[in-house]
Chain A
Amino acid sequence: MKKYFQKFTTQDWVVNALLAAVYVVLTVTPPLNSLAFGSVQFRVSEMMVMLPFYNRKFIPGLTLGCFITNLFSPTAAVDIFVGTLASLLVFLLIIHLRHGYWVPLIAAFINGVVVGAEIGIMTHMPFNAMLLSMLYIFIGEFAAVFIGYLLFTVLMRNSQIAKVIQKR
């Protein structure tokens, strides 16, 4: 951990703070917070999960964004722990990937298992039902991050964006 944070300059911290703010804004701004695709709805902000894959210095910002978003959640008391840790785990795994197309799968798997288990334990679900809720979360998250993957593949072709994201 010490080694990772040693390279952080003031600018890196501030950029991360702004990214956290962008994550929260994308989660709460009305037409952006829920793209509907049939009955599956997902947040545009979940697409930002792709960012640490391109640059591992964005982990603190996105984890913080997730944390702040969870503060708005009705079940905040549980979510700010579980939701934030699940995201952090996802980020820590995806920085080791070589290909971006694994990111949606890993993000969906971890969120599905962790958040599904959270709901399951919170409500004393029987095991089958817990698997069902895990699957439901898996699908939603997979769709969101997969679109993020497509989107960032396009975005990274924009030289302006690629420059700010991959710089440093």
Chain B
Amino acid sequence: MGKIIVGRYLPGNSLIHRLDPRAKFIATFIFVAIIFLANNWATYLALGLFVLWAVYLSKVSLTFFIKGVRPMLFLILFTVALQIFFTPGGNPFWQWGILSLSKLSIINGIFILLRFTLIIFISTLLTITTTPLQMSDAIEYLLRPLRKIHFPVDEVALMLSIALQFIPLLSDETTKIMNAQRARGVDFGEGNIIKQIKAIVPILIPLFVSSFNIAYDLSIAMEARGYNGSAGRTKYRQLHWQKPDTLVLTSFGLLTIILLILRSY
């Protein structure tokens, strides 16, 4: 059990690790919004330095961030190539049919590469320094305004924490089921597509049935202990908004202003 680490959390005690998860969430989304303000070298330089500084503060090795880029590499190169070859305009110094190369399109391609990398770095920074449970607490808090439209925020938070707890358990269960079916002669991931699909059925049925059974037992156990809807429940883990959290959000505000200024140059 526990082979799968839920999320990509790396334990640590850096400034970024200790930030309130709500602050990290809000900051990440601000970042994704303001990255679209970048339109020239100066703005990208500012964003890049800011992200590298945040990475340095997290005391997590840069290799973890670069690893995050790898699965996306194909998509990135594909879109960058599209951008470079298919952007019309500029002064093309090479042209072949609809393909053209110009200084403008190459610069645009590099900007896109940078934007992608920055989004990946900031996403990695969030998931690597925040445990899934902290994230679920933050999400619960940030969703609170939706209560006004009768969105069941507490129940969703409960679901989130149950799901996170059961992922390793069900993953274990899946491995067990697969081994049991292998012992009965099922080959996974081999043969043509029809065979591969047929091999999934003997995993899905036991997995569904056992997870439904777990759910029935768990809900009975919860109700036997007096669970009666989430209204009025108190919390075991409390979130504390502290000075560094305010500072982080202020620094993002400053970054936005800097970008707005650099942008017009």
Contact = CB atoms under 8 A, between A and B. Distances in A.
The answer to whether A and B assemble together is yes
Interface of A: 1-2, 5, 8-11, 13-22, 24-26, 28-29, 31-32, 35, 37, 44, 60-61, 64-65, 68, 71-78, 81, 119, 122-126, 128-129, 132-133, 147, 150-151, 154-155, 158, 160-161, 164-165
A15 B28 CA distance: 31
A161 B205 contact: yes
A104 B205 CA distance: 21
| Closest A-B pairs by Cβ, 6 of them | A17-B162, A11-B219, A76-B123, A2-B150, A20-B163, A17-B159
B196 interface: yes
Given A32-B200, A72-B8, A10 B211 contact: no
Given A18-B212, A150-B197, A1 B7 contact: no
Given A64-B156, A71-B7, A25 B83 contact: no
A25 B168 CA distance: 8
Contacts of B205: 155, 158, 160-161
B104 to A, nearest CB: 12
Contacts, number: 194
Interface residues of chain A: helix, strand, loop or mixed (majority): helix
A124 B112 contact: yes
A22 B116 contact: no
A25 B7 contact: no
Contacts of A13: 155, 158-159, 219
Given A76-B123, A161-B209, A68 B163 contact: yes
A155 B204 CA distance: 9
Interface string B168-205: 01110011001000000000110001001100110111
16 contacts: A10-B223, A18-B212, A21-B162, A21-B170, A24-B167, A25-B207, A29-B171, A32-B200, A35-B189, A68-B160, A77-B126, A122-B115, A125-B79, A129-B83, A132-B82, A161-B208
Contact of B215 (A17, A35, A119): A17
Interface residues of chain B: helix, strand, loop or mixed (majority): helix
Given A1-B149, A61-B159, A122-B115, A73 B86 contact: no
Nearest to B135: A71
Interface string B104-122: 0000100110011001101
Interface stretch (B65-73, B245-253, B254-262): B65-73
Contacts of A119: 75, 79
A41 B212 CA distance: 29
Contacts of A126: 82-83, 86-88
Interface of B: 4, 7-8, 28-29, 31-32, 68-69, 71-72, 75, 79-80, 82-83, 86-88, 108, 111-112, 115-116, 119-120, 122-124, 126-127, 132, 135, 149-152, 155-156, 158-160, 162-164, 166-167, 169-171, 174-175, 178, 188-189, 193, 196-197, 200-201, 203-205, 207-209, 211-212, 214-216, 218-220, 222-223, 227, 229
Contact of A74 (B124, B215, B227): B124
A18 B166 contact: yes
A91 B141 CA distance: 25
A14 B108 contact: no
Nearest to B68: A74
